[in-house]
Amino acid sequence: MHALVFDRFGGPEVLHWAERPDPVPGPGQALVRMQCIGLNFADVYRRNGNYHLSGSAPWILGYEGAGVIEVAAAGDSLFPVGTRVGFADMPYANAELVAVDVDKLIPLPDDIGTDIAAAVLLQGLTAQYLVRDSYAVKPGDVAVVHAAAGGVGLLLTQMLKSMGAVVLGTASSEAKRDKVIAAGADVAVGYDDLLPAVQSLTGGRGADVVYDSVGRTLGDSLAAARIGGTVVFYGMAAGDPAPVDPRLLMDRSLTLTGGDLWNVLTSAAVRRERAAALFAMIRSGTVRPRIAVRFSLSDGAKAHAYIESRGVIGKVLLIL
């Protein structure tokens, strides 16, 4: 098979298309022939050497994708050869063939294409737990979504609106803010305008919940939350946040909570139930995935350069 690999840390130029041995499925694993793969900032962080990588070089990135069962797992009848499947949390996805734990396979309904699955599984399931588990959204809640034009941000905005929330999104450019409004947000502003916009929107009360995936904005997120409000920290696209003095949380009765998808997808049943609910939202039109661009997996270096340009609105896919 061929895979997108790198053998040293660095910029997109370290990635190259190379022949690698076919993976050998272990017990409880099926072999998936990939068709579409989702590109995420976590892939960039790992390529730069900022995230944990298992094994030794040459490394293969990717955790999210969709394709067709090439070799079924021994003794498994749920996923025979030819079954269309997706996954959100299995490594080495940037390859023509991937060995995937059966428990991590998600069956794809006939009306969910492999491109849509690769575009929404990781980011859509993330948005889903943010509104279900990290904070229980209620109708009328005022929610701030940072990086609202990103892959998670657009899906999160749509989910919040479907639950009756008032949404204020932040984005770095006018073009991005236009897309945030198109996704249903009530207000979209630049990062520097966050605090006055929240004060204006809430009459000085503050937001009920702030979703922060940027990192450096955490101080403003805490300031934007109302007394007794919640800040959900689930990413650091712009770097590590400044330390938080716990007295700030005490003085304003704030809740600061973290979020990680891997702590939510605890079993095959949970994974498939949540994916089915996500697919139902897509089917009903509640959630409308936005695919920004498609690159051939062999052109993965170009895809990494594109996502790092910070001009992306929606999801970047790698296609085989």
Per-residue pLDDT tens for 272-316? 999 999 999 999 999 999 999 999 999 999 999 999 887 788 899
pLDDT at position 57, please?
92
Domain 139-258 has CATH 3.30.390.30: no
Residue-wise pLDDT tens digits, 60-76: 999 999 999 999 999 99
pLDDT band at 54 (very low <50, low <70, confident <90, very high): confident
Residue-wise pLDDT tens digits, 188-209: 999 999 999 999 999 999 999 9
pLDDT at position 146, please?
97
Residue 55 has pLDDT above 90, yes or no: no
Q: What percent of the chain has pLDDT over 90?
A: 89
DSSP 65-115: EEEEEEEPPTT--SS-TT-EEEESS-S--SBSEEEEEGGG-EEPPTTS-HH
Q: Which residue would you say has higher pLDDT here, 56 or 9?
A: 9
Mean pLDDT, the chain, integer: 95
Supply the CATH classification number for the domain 2-121+265-319. Answer: 3.90.180.10
Spatial distance between the Cα atoms of 84 and 298, rounded to a whole number of angstroms:
22
pLDDT at position 82, please?
97
Residue 238 has pLDDT above 90, yes or no: no
Residue 174 has pLDDT above 80, yes or no: yes
Global pTM value:
0.91
Q: Are 112 and 192 within 8 A, CB to CB? A: no
pLDDT at position 271, please?
96
Which residues of the chain does CATH 3.40.50.720 include? 139-258
pLDDT at position 310, please?
76
Residue 127 has pLDDT above 90, yes or no: yes
Which residues of the chain does CATH 3.90.180.10 include? 2-121+265-319
Region 168-185: what's the mean pLDDT? 95
Alpha helices in the chain (DSSP H): 41-48, 114-129, 151-162, 174-182, 194-202, 218-224, 246-251, 268-284, 300-308
pLDDT at position 258, please?
92
Region 145-159: what's the mean pLDDT? 95
Residue 144 has pLDDT above 80, yes or no: yes
Lowest average pLDDT, out of 14-18, 51-55, 178-182, 249-253, goes to: 51-55
pLDDT band at 237 (very low <50, low <70, confident <90, very high): confident
Q: Are 69 and 79 within 8 A, CB to CB? A: yes
pLDDT at position 159, please?
97
Spatial distance between the Cα atoms of 85 and 104, rounded to a whole number of angstroms:
10
